[in-house]
């Protein structure tokens, strides 16, 4: 036995099994201590009637480390709900952001980060400008949810992996975080309340399939349906071109009535022509049920182009509808706090580029 394990990076069964191996007495309290950690952000073995020696043994094997809340920044909506971005600092000083997004009727989605920075290099994305610094561990991903609920007091109904980083570029951390979030002895988020959003890592989709979460939602950042355009906007396309991505989505195991969410960031003059709409329709047609979320481009600190006008957004939605595509216009929440889609990774965070890069 060596080192401490992060208790919130494990499922309750994993904690119990490890406690039976390495803690002389009090292993029967494993699920109680686990619930305290993931639901109440507390790890106090001595508070449960354990002897000092047993409590010490628990602390020697397990730890609860939560990131510090550096600041929260909110944007009030007309509905009175806030989109709030929280900047969290880990022990090594690196920061990530998570965002609470109002979904109406007092429900909130938490958008979590899976990496510090990102190596995918998408042209419209603020995080891409940071470069890649390191993967987050499962515990660090789960910690964002624990802090949001137990420290910030946010009521989180859904979780989307759409913050900083490409989740399927960090399958070890993300798959284990999903198991922990889903664990019925702890956070207990049902599969339909979890969404992975990927830029199109076909290798990662195959790893995700191994998890067997057929009822979990999957969201794909498409943004261009011609290879020559997607190659420019999303370099991942040079490794996994559209036909390969499309085939992987066709083969991906999923529940009956599953609906793919296909995200399309509308960049005026780049991907909003009639032939683009037709190509999007051709991409989604073989996928079964799919909804295309059209997201008006948010100009960030180094804009690729301007934001589309209302007429341009409506016009593109109409063209997709004419091709028989199910569409949805995504409201751009959090634009003023740089918490909208593709805007996580602010200027202060980018300073961390000068820190050593993980292998």
Stretch of residues binding ligand SF4 (CB under 6 A), selected from 49-57, 117-125, 138-146, 240-248: 117-125
Candidates 101, 120, 139, 294: give the one binding ligand SF4 (CB under 6 A): 120
- x/- map, 218-257, ligand SF4, by CB under 6 A: ---x------------------------------------
Long-range contacts, stretch 347-352, CB < 8 angstroms, 24+ apart: 347/301, 348/95, 349/87, 349/95, 349/96, 349/97, 349/130, 350/129, 350/130, 352/93, 352/94, 352/95, 352/116, 352/117, 352/130, 352/133
Q: Find, among 138, 88, 143, 135, the residue nearest to 116 by Cα.
A: 135
Two structure tokens written together for 186: 């702890």
Q: How far is the CB of 211 from ligand SF4 (least distance, A)?
A: 20
Nearer to ligand SF4 by C-beta: 38 or 99? 99
Q: Are 327 and 291 in contact (CB under 8 A)?
A: yes
- 111 assigned to active site: no
Shortest distance, position 202 Cβ to ligand SF4, whole Å: 14
- Residues 65 to 104 in contact with ligand SF4, rule: CB under 6 A: none
Q: Does residue 342 interact with ligand SF4 by CB under 6 A?
A: yes
Interatomic CA distance for residues 41 and 44, integer angstroms: 10
Q: Which of 122, 142, 292, 349 binds ligand SF4 (CB under 6 A)?
A: 122
Using CB under 6 A, which of the segments 28-36, 53-61, 84-92, 122-130 binds ligand SF4?
122-130
Q: Rule CB under 6 A: is residue 339 a binding residue for ligand SF4?
A: no
For residues 186 and 12, the answer to whether their CB atoms sit within 8 Å is yes
- Of 30-38, 58-66, 78-86, 123-131, which part binds ligand SF4 (CB under 6 A)? 123-131
Cα–Cα distance, 286 to 281 (Å, whole number):
9
| Both tokens assigned to 300 | 């960030």
Instruction: Report the distance separating Cα 15 and Cα 6, nearest Å.
Output: 10
Looking at beta carbons only, is 186 or 342 nearer to ligand SF4? 342
Structure tokens belonging to residue 200: 């199109």
Instruction: Output DSSP code: residue 129.
Output: G
In the complex, the smallest distance separating the C-beta of residue 89 from ligand SF4, rounded to whole angstroms, is: 19
- Name the residue nearer to ligand SF4 (CB basis): 15 or 112: 112
| Interacting residues with ligand SF4 between 163 and 202 (CB under 6 A) | 164-166, 199
Catalytic, out of 111, 125, 265, 341: 341
Stretch that binds ligand SF4, among 115-123, 182-190, 270-278, 293-301 (CB under 6 A): 115-123
CB of 167 to ligand SF4, least distance (A): 9
The answer to whether 206 touches 168, Cβ cutoff 8 Å, is no
Nearer to ligand SF4, 55 or 118 (CB): 118
The residue among 128 and 145 lying less far from ligand SF4, judged by its C-beta, is 128
How many CA atoms lie less than 13 Å away from 117 in the CB half-sphere? 21
Torsion, CA 219, CA 225, CA 228, CA 234, rounded to 10: -20
Q: How would you classify the pairing of strands 156-161 and 107-111?
A: parallel
Query: Residue 31 CB, nearest distance to ligand SF4 (Å)?
Result: 35
Interacting residue ranges for ligand SF4, rule: CB under 6 A: 118, 120-122, 125, 127-128, 164-166, 199, 221, 342
Active site positions, annotated: 341
């Amino acid at each position: 036995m060596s080192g401490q394990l992060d208790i919130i990076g494990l499922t309750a069964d994993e904690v119990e099994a490890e406690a039976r191996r390495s803690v002389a007495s009090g292993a029967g309290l494993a699920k109680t201590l686990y619930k305290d950690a993931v639901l109440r952000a507390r790890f106090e073995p001595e508070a449960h009637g354990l002897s000092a020696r047993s409590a010490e043994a628990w602390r020697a094997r397990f730890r609860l480390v939560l990131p510090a809340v550096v600041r929260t920044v909110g944007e009030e909506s007309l509905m009175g709900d806030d989109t709030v971005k929280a900047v969290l600092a880990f022990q090594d000083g690196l920061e990530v952001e998570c965002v609470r997004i109002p979904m109406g009727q007092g429900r909130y989605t938490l958008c979590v980060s899976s990496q510090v920075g990102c190596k995918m290099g998408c042209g419209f994305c603020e995080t891409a400008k940071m470069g890649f610094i390191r993967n987050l561990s499962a515990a660090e991903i789960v910690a964002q949810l624990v802090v949001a609920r137990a420290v910030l007091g946010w009521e989180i109904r859904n979780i989307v992996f759409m913050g900083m980083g490409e989740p399927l570029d960090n399958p070890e951390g993300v798959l284990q975080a999903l198991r922990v979030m889903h664990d019925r002895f702890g956070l207990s988020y049902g599969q339909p309340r979890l969404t992975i959003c990927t830029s199109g890592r076909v290798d990662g989709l195959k790893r995700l399939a191994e998890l067997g979460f057929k009822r979990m939602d999957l969201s794909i950042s498409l943004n261009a349906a011609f290879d020559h355009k997607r190659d420019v906007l999303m370099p991942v396309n040079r490794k996994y071109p559209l036909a390969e991505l499309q085939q992987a989505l066709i083969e991906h195991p999923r529940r009956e009535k599953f609906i793919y969410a296909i995200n399309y960031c509308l960049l005026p003059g780049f991907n909003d022509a009639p032939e683009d709409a037709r190509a999007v329709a051709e991409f989604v047609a073989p996928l079964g049920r799919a909804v295309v979320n059209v997201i008006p481009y948010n100009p960030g600190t180094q804009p690729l182009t301007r934001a589309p006008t209302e007429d341009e957004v409506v016009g593109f939605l109409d063209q997709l509808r004419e091709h028989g595509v199910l569409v949805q216009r995504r409201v751009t929440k959090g634009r003023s706090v740089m918490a909208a889609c593709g805007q996580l990774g602010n200027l202060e965070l980018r300073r961390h580029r000068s820190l050593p890069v993980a292998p």
